[in-house]
Amino acid sequence: MGLMKEIITLILPAIIEYSFQALVNYADFIMVGKLGIEASATIGITNEVTFLVKAGVNALGVGVLAYFAKEIGAGRKDGLKKAAAQAYFLALVIGIFTTLIPVAASPFLPALLGAEKEIQGPASVYFAVASSAGVFFSFNVVAGSIRKAAKDMKTPLFVNGFMNVLNIIFNYFLIYPSKHISLSGIDIIIPRADMGVTGAAAGTALAVAIGGILMVYLNEKYLDTSANGAMGKIDPDIIGKYISVGIPAFLTSVVTSFGRVIFTAMIVPLGTVVYAAHSIAFTAESAFFIPAVGMAGAVASLSGNVRGEGDLKKLNRQTNLVCGLIVAIMLVAMGIMLIFADGIISVFTKDPSALEIAPRLLRIVALNEPMFGISIVMQYVFNGIGKTKPPLYVSAFTQWVLRVGGVFLLVHTLGFGIEAAWICMISDNIARAILLYIWYWGANKKLI
């Protein structure tokens, strides 16, 4: 009972924190959705590429979290200041690339993805502006990973909650035209920028920049994990440990994200309305996998700490408890999606065509929610203990054979519609969950 209490104590703030992260994307979709179906397609077209661009940063976060969690679990805190300094150095380097590459690629990307001509220009601008805060995103992830490794889920929760509030405020003033309101008979003009989709991108970039600065500032207030006094000297040994864990995690993100980009590129030719419905349904579904993805950092932290303690039995018990917990949560999510799909989609769009297609997609993906939860938990158990190769091998197989290969066969060769593509997507998730779970128990004695 004590272990379950510890798990829930760490997982709840982590889930709430990720909820706030996800709300940044929902806010853009919902607020931009008021501008019409083409506006929704404009911000959705580059979503998967954004995940791909962020792969290096997220992989560094995995490496940093695994290293810090193991050291903290083993009671070795003397070298954490130096480790934080090395993490910040890599955050700066990777963050620069995370900013420059998408900005340079933005003029050509929507056309390469097959976007229709009328949304290519706005999509290019949206992608470039939204990506301009890449350095700050990098620092947010790294400093947040350090806090999570120290079992501090409250700081990332606060930062991402505040960032989401800022994003909504910025969107309100940047997306729409000035508004006239009457207050006690007095006409008042609320000045707004009327920047449309570009305003949503600018609001996101500003919020991410502030969030990155705030996360580093708050981490520096904890003396054990502060880089204060340790900056200016490169330690190849610590950087090597980050990289050795991070490279397979990076390749996993590249394999899955690039696979999703190809998946997206194969759906875009089905038309703007179909792709918009796909994007809306995917965004709506992502609200329901918040518990699984939100758990990820807490699961990795718990697993890394136990690895530092050298307690395999505790790791196994902990893994089973978390898997059972996520299945129970995701079964509830599945039921809600199956029953209320039409109402959920109507929150994101009022377009009749999208309202016809998107609920069907949402009901298809609902069937995979429990297994998707297990796939996320198992991936981050492996990441937390520093064994990042199994998720790479499994993800490469399921993503490219079942998702990409399946869509090529069913949609582009045999002529089935968007529903077949989503069946391929959930097949990928289900197979990944099964294979990772089998791998964990097959290699159990070698995990610690």
Report CA dihedral (196, 202, 208, 214) to the nearest 10 degrees. -120
Rounded Cα gap, residues 303 and 70, in angstroms: 9
**What is the model's pLDDT at position 317?**
93
pLDDT tens digits for 394-415?
Answer: 999 999 999 999 999 999 899 9
pTM equals: 0.82
Q: What secondary structure does DSSP assign to 90-137, as a single string? A: HHHHHHHHHHHHHHHHTTTHHHHTT--HHHHHHHHHHHHHHHTTHHHH
Rounded Cα gap, residues 77 and 20, in angstroms: 30
| Whether the predicted pLDDT of 157 surpasses 90 | no
| Whether the predicted pLDDT of 19 surpasses 80 | no
| Whether the predicted pLDDT of 34 surpasses 80 | no
Model confidence at 25, pLDDT cuts 50, 70, 90, reads low
Amino acid at 308: G
Domain count, the chain: 1
pLDDT tens digits for 115-129?
Answer: 778 888 888 999 999
Which carries the bigger pLDDT value, residue 366 or residue 74?
Answer: 366
pLDDT tens digits for 307-356?
Answer: 899 899 999 999 999 999 999 999 999 999 999 999 999 988 888 888 99
Range of the domain at 61: 2-446
**What is the model's pLDDT at position 189?**
86
**What is the model's pLDDT at position 155?**
93
**What is the model's pLDDT at position 24?**
64
Across 207-230, average pLDDT: 93
